[in-house]
Amino acid sequence: MQILNWNSLSANQQVAALKRSPLVGDNSVEQLVRSIIEQVVLDGDAAISKFNQQFDGAIIDDLALTTAEIDSASARVSDKVKQSIAQAVANIEAFHQAQIFKPIDIETQVGVRCELRSEAIEKVGLYIPGGTAPLISTVMMLALPARIAGCEQRVLVSPPPINDAIIYAAKVCGITEIYQVGGAQAIAALAFGTETIPKVDKIFGPGNRYVTEAKRLVSQDNRVSVTIDMPAGPSEVLVIADDQANPAFIAADLLSQAEHGVDSQVMLVTNSVGQADAVNAQLTIQLALLPRQDIAAKALECSRSLVVNDLAQAVQVSNQYGPEHLIVQTENPRALLSTIRAAGSVFLGAYTPESVGDYASGTNHVLPTYGYSRAVSSLSLADFSRRFTVQELSAEGLKNIGQTVMTLAENELLDAHKNAVAIRLASLEQ
């Protein structure tokens, strides 16, 4: 990776050093995705079938998998994979069960009762990336919280042909509706519905830049009322490391994200030039051994090592970048945790590779990218529910608060608001 001395860069050069891959935000992607969405809206299943053949080389008679097909695919999965899925499911379920909402019910003043309640989103669409890397783990990250939250209809889509382990994981997690479609066309189908694929209320799941763009566009389309989980596009990681960190560990973590796709990005921020050089040497060694080395090498072209003065400045740079994944490999990593302001998920210490969060530690791996981690949270159980407030006033409560409401309404020149209180107070005096 290119090594840059952060403090020798101008302000503009620093901004440029933190820019994402030029493949992200390409205007031609938006135009293509808009065209795909419109074709799905107009032609439904026919458009889906056309795109399945065009983009995935798949000719499919039925978009929906039958129960028999789900069972057959599950039977083909090895016991080793099934055991791994079982352990991951147990950890992910334990962490998300602990997030179950606890209602709030308080009296803010005498006679004024306020509540915060939660209700599961009824219909959710779960997008599982396939293509160059079928993400079995994403099934668990989406399907388990949806089930725990109590979402009534849980619809899963994935590019054909769907990996057997994806199907098995879906079955284990309680998914019965599985449709063979991926890419922007899958997002369009979930948003608008087709003859076969049902329309949902919220769409979840990471994807490439086409999927991410499709999610953005449908969430802003006034023809439908569908929301999305977050901007979750091409994968990225930033590693903060001191001179005590193991360069082989660092290189392995960087490559674990670079292999996701050519539009992925990996960054190293260190207070040691020697560490940056050692990591580059390890990248060369480890990259040569990877089956997906061409993809990873392309991602490394838009990735950088930044040399800073100290670890405090390393955290500042990281907060400015706002990584999806932040790995802290320093002598005392937890000491930096209180200063971290922007990261989708944080991995502390030499023995906490990002891979554990991707698969089985229990945390969710659906995370904000593009720097959105400065304001957007990682996926949690709360995302599968809608929270709403309730208020209930007694006659005494309205008397106690009525004059305050009327005064504020009057000053906002909203006389009808004032009257809604005044007419009730008058009735109490009769």
Q: What is the pLDDT of residue 374?
A: 93
d(CA 147, CA 121): 11
Q: Which whole number is the average pLDDT over 230-249?
A: 93
Which residues have C-beta within 8 Å of that of residue 129, sequence separation ≥ 6? Answer: 135, 138, 158, 159, 182, 205, 206, 207, 208, 211
- Catalytic, out of 213, 236, 259, 324: 324
pLDDT in tens, 304-326: 999 999 999 999 999 999 999 99
Residues found in the chain:
430
**Banded model confidence at residue 119, pLDDT cuts 50, 70, 90:** very high
User: What does the block give as tokens for 418?
Assistant: 């004032």
Q: What is the pLDDT of residue 134?
A: 82
Task: Let me know if 365 is a catalytic residue.
Answer: no
Task: Let me know if 324 is a catalytic residue.
Answer: yes
The 10 Å Cβ neighbour count of residue 243 is 14
- Ordered domains of the chain (ranges, CATH): 2-24+234-362 (3.40.50.1980), 27-232+382-386 (3.40.50.1980), 394-428 (no CATH)
Residue among 351, 350, 356, 316 nearest 336 (CA): 316
Residue among 231, 157, 196, 190 nearest 62 (CA): 196
**Banded model confidence at residue 216, pLDDT cuts 50, 70, 90:** very high
Phi-psi region for residue 175, left (φ > 0), alpha (ψ -120 to 50) or beta? beta
Q: What is the pLDDT of residue 37?
A: 98
- Strands 385-393, 227-228: pairing is unpaired
- Above 90 in pLDDT, residue 181? yes
d(CA 176, CA 422): 54
The amino acid occupying position 86 is A
- Catalytic, out of 96, 260, 325, 365: 325
87 φ, ψ (degrees, to nearest 5): -70, -40
pLDDT in tens, 365-398: 999 998 999 999 999 999 999 999 999 999 999 9
Residue 400: CA atoms inside 13 Å, Cβ hemisphere, count?
A: 12
The 10 Å Cβ neighbour count of residue 410 is 13
- Above 80 in pLDDT, residue 207? yes
- Greatest alpha-carbon pair distance for the chain in Å reads 88
d(CA 286, CA 60): 39
d(CA 260, CA 131): 11
